[in-house]
Amino acid sequence: MYNPSARKAEEFINHEEILETLQYADANKNNLPLIETILKKAEPRKQGNGYVCSGLTHREASLLLACEDETVNQKIFQIAEQIKLAYYGNRIVLFAPLYLSNYCINGCLYCPYHLKNKHIPRKKLTQEEVVAEVIALQDMGHKRLAIEAGEDPVNNPIEYILECIKTIYSIKHKNGAIRRVNVNIAATTTEEYRMLKEAGIGTYILFQETYHKAGYEALHPTGPKSDYAYHTEAMDRAMDGGIDDVGLGVLFGLDKYRYEFAGLLMHAEHLEAVHGVGPHTISVPRVKPADDIDPNAFDNSLSDEMFLKLTACIRLAVPYTGMIVSTRESEQVRSRMLQAGISQVSGGSRTSVGGYTEKDRPHDTEQFTVSDERTLDDVVRWLMENGHIPSFCTACYREGRTGDRFMALCKSGQILNCCHPNALMTLTEYLEDYASEETKRIGYRLIEDELKKIPNPVVLERATAHISDIKNSCRRDFRF
């Protein structure tokens, strides 16, 4: 029985409800008057200084996804961009993954780290190696990491993860510092989530891989991850353990995308219903080639066009949720995704254990083949050339503006007086410390233009003064 407020996976991700949703979408996909009302509902509306959005239910969004009308599709992309600009402005947050260990006792059929894969060396970073990797990441200019590890209670117990987090936060190298460590590790207990919270993590990220229970069980034949309910209920345990920000995701390509799309939105609705706040982020990874993995073995790949539309439809459904695209996607696809509502991208990523300290990209422990191999400097310049502000800001978390408090900031329209100047100040730090001459030139021109958008004169004055201080090598830990 479908119940978004239930705590049992099979009730909030209810198979029958998903099938009925898909039937409803098929039955109504040519019902243009109904689609018009849904599009109207999705549009951001001006309210006071800010914007409000209603979002869409999984049924409404599934109907938009099913509709093949070209004009409707264009309208979906248009609204996705409007929502992105209303809530996040033209800022794009940057991060990089850091692989700690590829030891894993699971049998996931799509992942090269699966237990039976004997082709790959198994590696786990020592604390000295964590330091070296983090210094390499800081020297690129990164301030925000997502740590990744296989599931192995003997080799990667929670104590190891906590020790790595402590090490990462302790490294102050030149002007570098990692200010936010997001964590992508296997589903665990409320007690261990509490420990992660106490260690000061940012978002806890866990991809569902697939919401289709039978498909999930076939793809995860062995190991602790094979328990569908335990995996699906992980975000509830994380929030019970005090973690405010959780990040959802599906590994697109494993199962039918329309099913996954409905399941993903039902998961977001469930978190909102039970915990009063939806997911902080949604990631949209697609399955990629890797050692021992041929993505063609999964019969559910979706075209770039449909992938882009699906991203835009998520943006309409959950307007306050950050959306992440990784280097699994090429520069070309990522460029288009930026117009479909994406708010965070990774840059300069290496997906192997110890990859950042190697001169050439190592492939032996790579989790998947990266399609965007550009350096962080290239990615920063590319974002600016396309009218975006690359942001290294992490102030919200330090100020406690997470979860529902972050959403309140979006709704009150204070983003331009807060996140916007913070983004410009952190970009200035990046330009001064790490950028190439060309990136610096483009960056300073952009900052000059963007400062003009700050509405509050006091904020403008302080931001301008602070940017000038940074340029004169005077650093203060100041954010709005």
Residues that bind ligand SAM (CB under 6 A): 110-111, 148, 150-151, 184-186, 206-207, 209, 225, 251, 285, 287-288, 290, 293, 328, 367-368
State in angstroms the smallest separation of the CB of 151 from ligand SAM: 5
CB of 413 to ligand SAM, least distance (A): 35
What is the end-to-end Cα distance of the chain in Å, rounded? 46
Q: How far is CA 343 from the centre of its chain?
A: 8
Q: What is the DSSP secondary-structure string of 136-199? A: HHHHHT--EEEEEE---TTTS-HHHHHHHHHHHHH--BTTB---EEEEE-----HHHHHHHHHT
Query: 4 or 150: whose CB is closer to ligand SAM?
Result: 150
Give the integer Cα–Cα distance in Å for 181 and 309.
30
Q: Do 343 and 93 meet the contact criterion of CB atoms below 8 Å apart?
A: yes
Our CB check for ligand SAM shows the closer of 294 and 449 to be: 294
CB of residue 279 vs ligand SAM: minimum separation in angstroms?
A: 15
In the DSSP assignment, the letter for residue 204 is E
* CB 176, CB 218: distance < 8 Å: no
Nearer to ligand SAM, 231 or 420 (CB): 231
Whichever of 183 and 419 has its CB closer to ligand SAM, that residue is: 183
Distance from the Cα of residue 32 to its chain's centroid: 33
292 phi and psi angles, rounded to 5 deg: 70, 5
* CA-closest candidate to residue 444, choices 460, 431, 458: 431
Nearer to ligand SAM, 76 or 310 (CB): 310
User: Is 293 or 383 the residue whose CB approaches ligand SAM more closely?
Assistant: 293
Which run of H or E residues covers position 52? strand 50-52
Nearest approach, Cβ of residue 242 and ligand SAM (Å): 20
* Minimum distance of ligand SAM from residue 148's CB (angstroms): 4
Q: Which amino acid is at 28?
A: N
Question: Minimal distance in Å, beta carbon 308 to ligand SAM?
Answer: 18
Distance CA 253, CA 240 (A): 31
Angle between helices 437-451 and 376-385 (to 10 degrees): 40
CB 150, min distance to ligand SAM, A: 5
Q: Is 318:267 a contact under the CB 8 Å cutoff?
A: no
To the nearest whole angstrom, how small is the minimum distance from the Cβ of residue 261 to ligand SAM? 16
- Report CA Rg, the chain: 22
Return the number of the residue (176 or 285) whose C-beta is nearest ligand SAM.
Answer: 285
The residues near 447 (Cβ < 8 Å, ≥ 6 apart) are 424, 427, 428, 467
Q: Smaller CB distance to ligand SAM: residue 75 or 220? A: 220
Smallest distance from ligand SAM to CB 3, Å = 26
* Rounded Cα gap, residues 148 and 135, in angstroms: 17
Q: In the complex with ligand SAM, which residue's Cβ is closer, 185 or 423?
A: 185
